[in-house]
Homo-oligomer: A and B are copies of this chain.
């Protein structure tokens, strides 16, 4: 059994900081790596050591495996935590770590490969007896083959890239006449995105629920699941809100799906934290969709209802410790919800909105956790993901959790860039979300409510006018006010805008 003294975190943003927090609690030193754009990012300041690894574009920095391994060797890091995204599901990187005697915190390169190829993953699950979405189990060979297969399965279907992910190389086919052209375009996009034009067919399940199970496996053949996460609130195939327990779930279904999730992990002899994603239809039929061989963005809701620090478990497992948690002792306590805060214009087709953060007020208090990385004065780079923070609440039950999330979103103020905060708050108010009666079609279905252009009261609007006027008068005297060098000592101003008036 190894004891890690130093871990390199091959990531940035909130997840890098989240991992460093646990390292710090475990007494492990941390090494940050950063690109040009990230010199002033929080993860650089939080780490014990920090090294520059290249230009802003990910492919030249956070995806530069050799450079990262160089830093790990130079700093004598015992292990590398890849976070999510970037190199986290890159078997080649995991292999390079192994070749250089650095522990990759995650599963073996073989398992990453096996699960990374969607066709192979389907085959593995079928062999393990886990239900998969009906469809093909091999790559489509010819266009005729495609037409025949699709007719057999019956429209609508999805064509998907075997090496795929993130919605790339994926097409929905609803009409027979489009089969050839859509297969062709999926293949071409797959080729350009992943360097592999292999595609396969899945039956299309309309408006399903996205429900995933968190699993943990150690190096000694022990496997457990940490219950489900409901991830059906999505926009542009990206999750916006996750919760656990799922409002759809029954104890019987949870038991059954959980057993399959553990079986899936056992089949590949999985090491570390992973997620088994399922599609669930309204009749509670469920199908294996894919496995994520890494930590998920939404892992904190599982931590909150089980009380388990998943990053700590990842590290302990990587050090060779056997799991001390048993399936029988695990409990789901209360209800947890996560909202992802994106820097985006939610009212304008969720267009990303990078830029400079002006002021932030963090939501605090009972049952609120926030995991972010931006700070006042920080400029969000244009090169990376638009998620700037995650807000996680817990309460005794679902209704209270929704009320608390509403309160936390109300308190959460970020100015300077547009964010999804108010859009998320409106979601908390919809009947469909309140009742738990929603699927992946939720945002589309509730568009009218979610995009309603409400204004504040006329009096409130007048207050904005007054504030703008006072600010304007202030700026007329800017030369005078900026003489006050120590702004922090006098942030609240008392100026006289008009002289010689008696008390009102």
Contacts and interface: CB of A to CB of B under 8 A. Distances in A.
Q: Which of A358, A365, A394, A400 lies at the interface centre, i.e. has the most chain B CB atoms within 10 A of its CB?
A: A365
A411 to B, nearest CB: 8
A406 B478 contact: no
Given A307-B333, A356-B489, A25 B404 contact: yes
A410 B24 contact: yes
**Which applies to chain A's interface (DSSP): helix, strand, loop or mixed?**
mixed
Contact of A371 (B359, B364, B375): B364
A372 interface: yes
Contacts of A367: 309, 369
A44 to B, nearest CB: 12
A236 B157 CA distance: 72
| Interface size class, chain A | 35 or more
A317 to B, nearest CB: 16
B366 A22 contact: yes
A476 interface: no
Contact of A362 (B18, B358, B362, B416): B362
Given A307-B333, A365-B371, A492 B377 contact: yes
B376 A488 contact: yes
Interface in A432-486: 475, 478, 482, 485
Contacts of A366: 18, 21-22, 300, 303, 309, 369
Given A377-B492, A396-B307, A492-B40, A365 B485 contact: no
A77 B367 CA distance: 27
7 nearest A-B residue pairs (beta carbon): A377-B491, A482-B482, A25-B403, A358-B488, A21-B365, A24-B407, A25-B407
12 contacts: A18-B366, A21-B366, A22-B366, A26-B403, A27-B403, A364-B370, A365-B371, A366-B369, A367-B369, A376-B488, A475-B485, A478-B485
